[in-house]
Amino acid sequence: MPELIPGLAGVPAAESAVSFIDGQKGLLAYRGHPIQVLAERSTFQEVAWLLLYGTLPKRAEFDGFREQLGTRREIPERMYDVIRALPGNGHPMDALQACMASLGMFSRHTDFRDASTADEAITRILAAMPVMVAAFDRIRGGEDVVPPRPELDTAANFLWMLTGEEPDELAARVLDVALILHADHTMNASTFAARVVASTEADPYTVVSSAIGALTGPLHGGANERVLDQLRDIGEAESVEAWVDGQVAAKKKIMGFGHRVYKVKDPRADILQGLAIDLFEKLGRTPLYDTAVTLEDEVVKRLGDKGIHPNVDFYSGIVYSKLQIPIDLFTPVFAMARTAGWLAHWREQMVDNKIFRPAQVYAGVHDAEYVPIDER
């Protein structure tokens, strides 16, 4: 009888060169490049190329990639009909999953092992994700869809389509860095789901749709939404100590703290905290930030020796809220970024593919007696 390891914790499921984590040191790197360097010096579109193709792009490669992402933001007109048919009170993540599956139906299903076909699908998916998120938000609010602008980068175009206003340069840069930070994170639940579906040789639209489905679960995506709700429930910074007393006494989870991998502060949380400060200096301070800093100090003082520190979700909600992104779009923004990683893992899975078929530990009965229905 094989040993059961719940959640496959610590069990290698694939060999990958996409990203690397050292949870003891608080290290995250994409293709060998530390996340701090990429956040400071790169852009999301450049990082997407790095994840997908293994190296930082040359100027000609990047210019071509950027142009394709811009021109392929034009989704089929009937895709907007699909979005209008969705219930406006539904969660945007459910809408995004449905839209991605629908987009695949509008696209040519050919041999995705062909490099040019795969590249076309990659840019079409990456380009369409922000468009579909912004379009759903506009349509559910009774507003006209704002046409995409091919000359803008991914983050700036998303803010433009969301608000219809020229994006602030700092706001666009902050969102761009946030997308970099969320672009990949080794074998998390949604990436594993993507690789499992990819191993069946499903098309990349189905792979990404499946990964979006995994990200809708509250144990994976959406934590930044609950962090913001938590901070609002706490209120003033002066209320933090008593609130933490109550949570610890009741053995309740404190959202935004702890990680399955990191035993120190998540490096992405440090970067997001710096972005929040930059935003506040230009756009005005958010009172919830003072509560967040006080909460971090209090929790780390009590639980830091147990490896409980802020994770990426702790400050991301504060940043997104300051960018005036609706709270239920936080996880779709996560998905917009992580699509680059999902597609990188799809490409990697296809190199030497073998379908996933894990074993199980059977816990049922044997030799059960069949009783006719009238005698039961």
Q: Are residues 43 and 160 in the same domain?
A: yes
Task: Report the pLDDT value the prediction gives residue 69, as an integer from 0 to 100.
Answer: 97
> What's at 198, amino acid-wise?
A
Q: Are residues 177 and 228 in the same domain?
A: no
Q: At 108, which CATH number?
A: 1.10.580.10
Pairing between β-strand 19-22 and β-strand 27-30 as defined by DSSP bridges: antiparallel
Residue 292 lies in a domain: yes
Residue 2 lies in a domain: no
Q: Are residues 208 and 272 in the same domain?
A: no
Element of type H or E holding 27 = strand 27-30
Q: Are residues 23 and 115 in the same domain?
A: yes
Task: Report the pLDDT value the prediction gives residue 9, as an integer from 0 to 100.
Answer: 86
Q: What's the domain count of the chain? A: 2
Please name which of 97, 51, 339, 346 lies closest in space to residue 197, comparing C-alpha atoms: 346
Q: Which range marks the domain in which residue 197 is found?
A: 16-217+328-351
Q: Are residues 67 and 123 in the same domain?
A: yes
Which residue bears the tokens 């579909």? 132
How far is C-alpha 376 from the geometric centre of its chain's CA atoms? 50
Q: Are residues 56 and 92 in the same domain?
A: yes
Q: At 280, which CATH number?
A: 1.10.230.10
Task: Report the pLDDT value the prediction gives residue 1, as an integer from 0 to 100.
Answer: 67
Task: Report the pLDDT value the prediction gives residue 17, as an integer from 0 to 100.
Answer: 98
Residue 153 lies in a domain: yes
- Residues lower than pLDDT 50 in the chain: none
**Catalytic (active site) residue 22:** no
What pTM was estimated for this model as a whole?
Answer: 0.94
**Catalytic (active site) residue 259:** yes
Rounded Cα distance between 195 and 337, Å, is: 17
Q: Are residues 158 and 109 in the same domain?
A: yes
**Could you report the per-residue pLDDT of 296-347, keeping only the tens digit for each?**
999 999 999 999 999 998 999 899 999 999 999 999 999 999 999 999 999 9
Residue 363 lies in a domain: no
Beta bridge partners of 19: 30
Q: Are residues 158 and 81 in the same domain?
A: yes
Active-site pick, 153, 184, 203, 313: 313
Q: Are residues 265 and 181 in the same domain?
A: no
Token pair, residue 334, equals: 């996560």
Rounded Cα distance between 257 and 269, Å, is: 10
Q: Are residues 293 and 334 in the same domain?
A: no
Residue 231 lies in a domain: yes
Q: Are residues 247 and 205 in the same domain?
A: no
Q: Are 333 and 325 in contact (CB under 8 A)?
A: yes
Token pair, residue 183, equals: 């672009």
Q: Are residues 230 and 347 in the same domain?
A: no
Active-site pick, 259, 266, 309, 345: 259
